C-alpha cells in the first residue's frame, strides 16, 4: 500500500481525504489543531518540524492542504497569511523535492479578478486580496521550483458537516436551525460549488492516470450565492416557511470587507480534454451533502 502524508488536514477537505483514503492507503494526517483521533499535531509553518515529520514517515506523496481561508482574517493579518499560505508551501516543495515525491497542493478560484464570466486552467490569475495573493504566490512557487506537482483549484467548497464546514452552506444551515425566517443573501457573487468528496475522488483519478500539473476542479454548473441558498431551501422543502432575500454585496460590506471577485466560475477544461472529469452537477452534490452530513 502507498503511504500518503496529509499536512494541514483538520478541516473540511482533510476530513474528506481521510474518509476516502484511510482504508486504501497508509496515512499520516497532521494539523496544528488535531481535532480528530486520526490527526497528529504539527504546525507546518515550522520547516524543521515539518521536514522531520514527513521524512520519518517517508510517504509516496505529500498533500499540502491546510491554509487560512477566512478572507477577512487574511486582510487583517497579512504576514501570518503569507507565512501560512505561501511560505509553508515553499517548505512543502523543498521537502517533496528532497524526498523525490510528488506534491499535491489545493488552490482556489479566488485568484481571478472576476472580470470574465468563466475561467479555464490557462487563464491568467489576477488576485485581489491577501488570501488570493498568498495562494497565487504559492502556485507560482510550486510551478517554478517543484520537481513533480499537482495543483487543483477548488471553487466554493462544501463538505464536512456542522463540525467542520465554516463556509457558506453551514452558515445558511445555522440560520435555518436558529429559526430565522427571512435570510439575506447576495446575488452579485457568481461561482462554482465544489463538493469535497467529489473533489477528492477526482484528485485520485488524476493521480492514478499519472497526470500532473495544474487543474481546475469544481462541480459542473454555474450559480450564485443567492441561487445556492434558494436550492438549500428547495431541498429542505422550506419554500413556504423561509424567504431568501436578494441583496448586493454592499449590504454586507462591514462584515465582509475583504475584496472578492464578482465571478469565480471555473471550467474544468484540462480535465475534459484528458477525459478525467468525474465532477457532478453542484445541485446533485448539494442535495447529497445536506442529506448525508446534516
State pLDDT tens for residues 107-126. Answer: 999 999 999 999 999 999 99
For the chain, list the domains and their CATH numbers.
3-160+193-221+266-280 (3.40.50.720)
According to the model, what pLDDT value does residue 3 have? 98
77-102 mean pLDDT: 98
153-182 mean pLDDT: 95
175 — alpha (psi -120 to 50), left (phi > 0) or beta? alpha
53-64 mean pLDDT: 98
Grid cell for residue 158: 462544501
- 136 close to 74: Cβ distance less than 8 angstroms: no
Residue with cell 485520485: 204
pLDDT at 70 over 90: yes
If we measure between CA atoms, which residue out of 247, 2, 220, 203 comes closest to residue 107? Answer: 203
Amino acid at each position: 500500500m502507498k503511504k500518503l502524508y496529509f499536512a494541514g488536514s483538520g478541516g473540511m477537505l482533510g476530513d474528506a481525504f481521510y474518509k476516502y483514503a484511510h482504508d486504501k492507503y497508509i496515512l499520516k494526517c497532521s494539523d496544528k489543531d488535531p481535532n480528530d483521533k486520526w490527526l497528529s499535531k504539527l504546525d507546518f509553518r515550522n520547516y524543521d518540524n515539518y521536514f522531520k515529520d514527513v521524512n520519518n514517515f517517508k510517504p509516496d506523496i505529500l498533500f499540502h492542504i491546510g491554509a487560512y481561508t477566512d478572507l477577512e482574517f487574511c486582510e487583517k493579518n497579512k504576514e501570518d497569511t503569507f507565512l501560512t499560505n505561501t511560505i509553508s508551501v515553499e517548505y512543502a516543495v523543498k521537502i517533496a523535492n528532497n524526498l523525490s515525491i510528488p506534491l499535491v497542493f489545493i488552490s482556489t478560484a479566488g485568484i481571478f479578478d472576476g472580470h470574465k464570466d468563466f475561467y479555464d486552467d490557462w487563464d491568467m490569475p489576477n488576485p485581489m486580496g491577501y488570501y488570493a495573493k498568498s495562494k497565487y504566490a504559492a502556485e507560482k512557487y510550486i510551478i517554478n521550483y517543484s520537481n513533480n506537482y499537482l495543483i487543483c483549484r477548488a471553487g466554493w467548497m462544501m463538505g464536512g458537516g456542522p463540525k467542520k464546514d465554516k463556509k457558506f452552506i453551514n452558515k445558511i444551515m445555522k440560520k435555518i436551525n436558529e429559526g430565522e425566517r427571512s435570510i439575506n443573501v447576495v446575488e452579485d457573487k457568481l461561482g462554482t460549488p465544489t463538493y469535497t468528496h467529489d473533489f477528492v475522488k477526482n484528485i485520485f483519478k488524476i493521480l492514478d492516470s499519472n497526470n500532473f500539473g495544474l487543474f481546475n476542479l469544481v462541480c459542473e454548473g454555474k450559480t450564485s450565492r443567492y441561487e445556492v441558498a434558494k436550492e438549500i431551501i428547495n431541498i429542505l422543502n422550506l419554500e413556504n416557511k423561509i424567504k431568501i432575500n436578494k441583496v448586493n454585496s454592499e449590504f454586507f460590506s462591514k462584515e465582509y470587507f475583504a475584496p472578492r471577485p464578482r465571478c469565480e466560475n471555473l471550467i474544468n477544461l484540462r480535465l475534459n480534454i484528458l477525459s478525467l472529469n468525474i465532477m457532478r452537477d453542484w445541485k446533485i452534490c448539494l442535495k447529497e451533502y445536506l442529506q448525508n452530513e446534516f
